[in-house]
């Protein structure tokens, strides 16, 4: 039919166009990617975590070396009990170092993303300026979902961010660390 084009439904705007129409400047996805990579490097696994099989060997080797050096020293001192006490003291120092966490076995970190309802943002610790914008956009832009990304190390959340997502498009609304906002989507002044 020749007039079908006149009654065709309008094409929906992309998520970026919807955000631009509201005069909001989102956090650049390049800034988010650079931040995520920097945080992964900052919270990388410790040397001892990457080389776990050698940790027991190193500790046992240290104890064996202490025992041998104590025996050699005692032989040289000809019956003096001082070297035995020195060996015991050295073993106690090593035990205190292990107990104090000098040989930390810190796991690496990884990013996890999950969908969250807008009502949960306050309870999840999202800073208010990011949460207000996220709730507003999730109400005004149809078909969107909020995605909370979290850098986790073992069971600790280190560095979250919030995305607005629709049909595979993502817009970063903010990055924060504790109470400090690192980057936030904003309206021009």
Task: State pLDDT tens for residues 85-136.
Answer: 776 777 778 777 777 766 666 677 888 899 999 999 988 889 999 999 999 9
∠ CA 158-19-116, nearest 5°, is 40
Give 40's Cβ-side CA count (13 Å radius).
Answer: 9
Helix axes 82-100, 54-77, angle to 10 degrees: 160
Indicate yes or no: pTM above 0.75: no
Domain residue ranges of the chain, discontinuous segments joined by +: 4-44+108-184, 47-100
65-79 residue pLDDT tens: 766 776 666 666 665
Average the pLDDT over 140-155 and give the result.
88
pLDDT computed for residue 70 by the predictor: 66
72: Cβ–Cβ under 8 A, 6 or more apart, which residues?
none
Q: What angle do CA 31, 115, 151 make, to 5 degrees?
A: 50
pLDDT at 134: 92
Contact in structure between 142 and 167 (CB atoms under 8 Å): no
């Amino acid at each position: 039919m020749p007039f079908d084009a006149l009654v065709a439904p309008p094409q929906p705007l992309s998520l970026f166009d919807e955000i631009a129409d509201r005069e909001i400047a989102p956090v650049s996805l390049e800034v988010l990617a650079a931040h995520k990579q920097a945080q992964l490097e900052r919270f990388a696994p410790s040397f001892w975590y990457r080389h776990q099989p050698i940790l027991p060997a190193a500790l046992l080797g240290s104890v064996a070396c202490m025992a041998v050096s104590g025996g050699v020293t005692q032989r040289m001192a000809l019956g003096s009990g001082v070297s035995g006490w020195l060996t015991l003291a050295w073993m106690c120092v090593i035990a205190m170092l292990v107990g104090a966490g000098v040989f930390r076995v810190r796991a690496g970190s990884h990013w996890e993303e999950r969908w969250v309802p807008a009502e949960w943002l306050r309870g999840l610790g999202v800073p208010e300026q990011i949460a207000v914008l996220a709730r507003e956009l999730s109400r005004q832009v149809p078909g969107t979902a909020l995605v909370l990304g979290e850098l986790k190390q073992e069971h600790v959340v280190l560095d979250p961010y919030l995305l607005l997502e629709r049909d595979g498009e993502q817009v970063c609304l903010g990055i924060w660390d504790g109470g400090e906002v690192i980057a936030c989507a904003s309206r021009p002044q």
